[in-house]
Structure 1
């Protein structure tokens, strides 16, 4: 699926710090923990809690965030729709990576078991 250049730029320039509180509120509202959120973030990106805190403090954009990340090789197993887009059809790598994170947070909030969220082949 082709996203527009404006859409991709908006996502690239959005700060992780502006989105993280929404992720945290979403999972906590549904009875999940920040530890579980951090486990999901670490699985996808390799970032430990201190890395996440540093990226938030430095107001890293998603472009900077994923440039530093060691994206999990199994991330391509994340499929489905998020924000009206089929993840596996998104052509822009950065936009697809951000949507991977969105999808994992959604699955966590929906009560999916952690072993299903943290995909393995």
Structure 2
């Protein structure tokens, strides 16, 4: 299995990059938190603990309480790669999160982002 550089990046660093990205488009940290909690099953306190810790992306997803069963509804292309074709389970989870943050930054409604 190829070890991607993103696997060893600190979740907190990526989290703050997500917030910067969406705030430039007049979206909020609270919306980013809602997306991450929907995807991973973390509650607000659990997410805060992850952000304040120094966990890498591997550990972040290993500690996630439960990946949302509706993730299979997330489809499309992120960074030129079709999510449905990503074989590595961890990379697919990271791409799900990237796709949802991209949708937020592009102005989609939270109902559509959360596949409600």
TM-score, normalised on structure 2? 0.92
RMSD (Å), alpha carbons = 1.3
Counterpart selection for 1:60 from 39, 55, 63: 55
| Separation of aligned partners in 1, 2:51 and 2:36 | 13
C-alpha deviations, 1:34-83, integer Å up to 9, x for none?
Answer: 11111111110111232222112221111111111111010111111111
**Structure 2 unaligned blocks of 5 or more:** none
**Structure 1 unaligned blocks of 5 or more:** none
Higher relative contact order, chain-length normalized (CA < 8 Å, sep 6+) = 1
Query: Aligned residues, how many?
Result: 115
Query: Runs in 1 of length 4+ with deviation above 6 angstroms?
Result: none
TM-score, normalised on structure 1? 0.88
